[in-house]
Amino acid sequence: MAKIEIHEPECEDCAAAKAEARKERRYAARAHRIAGQTRFITAIPCVGLFIAAIALTISTLISTIQVTIEVAQGHVGMQDMLVDYIEYADFFLLAVVLYIMSIGLYSLFIDHDIDMPAWLKIDTLDDLKELLVGVIGVVMAVYFLGRLIHGTEPLDLLFIGLSTAAVIVALAYFVKHVISSHGE
């Protein structure tokens, strides 16, 4: 038995509508591809932050070695050495902040499957914020400790301590009430 096919002529409006729909799907697919590829723009700040972290780490390491040599030679006293080392700890922590920002942006936008320790696993922008807030709190506490040992005037030290404490409390509130509420 022969199959009978009936071809009805397509109306011009239907053909035009189908052509328009195909055109819109092509534009949407192209826009989707472009939007997907623009995430690689974040590679620029990732590389810049990573280079800054490395440069700050190396520079601080060199300064630490220089001060250690000067202490061994007797050119620098213990008080000055302690102040320098605390400042260097602050710089190393800042380098860690830069590194975390670099890795965090990279894992959020470019490659989510980076093998990282659990504490550095960043799944959302809120995870990155939470990590940064924690490290920034430590950096500020180390800065205050440096001012304390440096022999800052008592009234100045009080203001630095109060302002540091206020910022740390605000950051803790931010983490507890703002960031944690996003996950719920």
User: 8-47: buried (b, 16+ CB within 10 Å) or exposed (e) per residue?
Assistant: eeeeeeeeeeeeeeeeeeeeeeeeeeeeeeeeeeeeeebe
Is the Cβ–Cβ distance between 83 and 148 less than 8 Å? Answer: no
pLDDT higher than 80, residue 76: yes
pLDDT score recorded for residue 108? 86
Q: Which residue has the higher pLDDT, 120 or 170?
A: 170
Using 50, 70 and 90 to split pLDDT, how confident is the model at 11?
low
Cα gap 59→146, rounded to integer Å:
19
Mean pLDDT within 25-53: 84
44, pLDDT greater than 90: yes
pLDDT, one tens digit per residue, over 16-28 is: 777 777 888 887 7
Q: Is it the case that residue 6 has pLDDT exceeding 70?
A: no
At residue 145, the pLDDT reads 86
Q: What is the mean pLDDT of the chain?
A: 84
Of 9-23, 77-91, 121-135, minimum mean pLDDT range: 9-23
Mean pLDDT of 180-184: 62
pLDDT-derived band at 70, boundaries 50, 70, 90: very high
**Residue 136: its pLDDT value, please?**
86
What pLDDT digit, counting tens, does each position of 89-130 carry?
A: 989 999 998 998 999 888 888 888 888 888 778 888 888 888
pTM over 0.75, yes/no = no
Q: Which two tokens stand for residue 180?
A: 């944690």
Do residues 87 and 67 touch, judged by C-beta distance below 8 A?
A: no
Contact status, residue 90 vs residue 129, Cβ threshold 8 Å: no
What are the extents of the domains in the chain?
A: 41-182
